[in-house]
Amino acid sequence: MSIYCNNECLNCIHYFDDEKEIVNKIQFKKGEFWKLKPKEYEIVFILKGSLNVSFEQYSNETIEKDDMILIPSDRDFYIEAMEDSELFLMQIPASVLTYQCTTIKLFNYQTPDTDTTLNYLTINKNIAIFLSTLEIYIEENIKCFSLHECKIRELFFLLEEGYKKTELYKFFHLALKNNSSFSNLANHNKTK
């Protein structure tokens, strides 16, 4: 199967190079370590295997196949593969995350403190289908920024439709509580 964007070429203004990719598929062999310090928020989708992750107050937390977690921006994030593993990393710019969390009304949502537990979501059927389309785009080397922006919006629609507000609040709590620049932007937009 071949999928092409009508205007996709190296000179297209919507085309981005490997260094600017917002969706990456990464494979790890058992025992491999990796350190990441994302410039933007990232959602990690575990497609296969099991990983130990550490960041901020969380140390050696295990996430497994069909889990997804949010990584805060500008924080050191460590991964150790407990077995051969495969994952997707999807960058979510703070402005987009703010808008989406405002849209699904997470800022006014109240829940007990969630900082002591690493909160993740289990990949449901619709998110699994979403990820399979991302995999096709990656395999076909489609690097259209506009397409990826649409996929981020689609992801948030699927999150809102497939999970309870309490689950979403816990999933995004690191962005909602711990990042002052994100919180300031969010609160500014919330009052408009």
Q: How far is CA 92 from CA 4, 21, 33, 107, in A?
A: 24, 11, 23, 17
Q: Which of 16, 31, 25 is nearest to 44 (CA)?
A: 25
Is 5 among the domain residues?
Answer: no
Q: Rounded to the nearest 5°, which phi and psi values hold at 126? A: -65, -40
Return all residues near 46 (Cβ < 8 A) that are at least 6 apart.
63, 64, 65, 66, 67, 68, 85, 86, 87, 123
Is 13 a domain residue? Answer: no
pLDDT tens-digit readout, 118-176: 889 999 999 999 999 999 988 888 877 788 888 988 999 999 999 998 888 888 877 77
User: Looking at residue 24, what is its pLDDT?
Assistant: 85
Number of domains in the chain: 1
Tell whether the model's pLDDT for residue 187 goes beyond 90: no
In 10 A of CB 72, how many CB atoms?
A: 18
Report the CATH number that the domain containing residue 131 is assigned in CATH.
Answer: 2.60.120.10
Confirm whether 10 is domain-assigned: no
Question: What integer best gives the mean pLDDT of the chain?
Answer: 80
**More confident call, 113 vs 136:** 136
Q: Is residue 78 part of a domain?
A: yes
Please give the average per-residue pLDDT across 60-88, as a whole number.
Answer: 92
Q: 0.95 exceeded by the pTM? A: no
Question: Letter for the amino acid at 42?
Answer: E
Instruction: Answer whether residue 163 is part of any domain.
Output: yes
Q: Is residue 6 included in any domain, yes or no?
A: no
Distance of alpha carbon 119 from the chain centroid: 13
Share of the chain above pLDDT 90, in %: 34
| Residue 11 domain flag | no
Task: Give residue 185's domain range.
Answer: 20-190
Across 36-45, 48-57, 167-176, least confident range: 167-176
* Cα atoms found within 13 Å of the Cα of residue 123, Cβ hemisphere only: 23
User: Considering the domain boundaries, does residue 120 fall inside one?
Assistant: yes
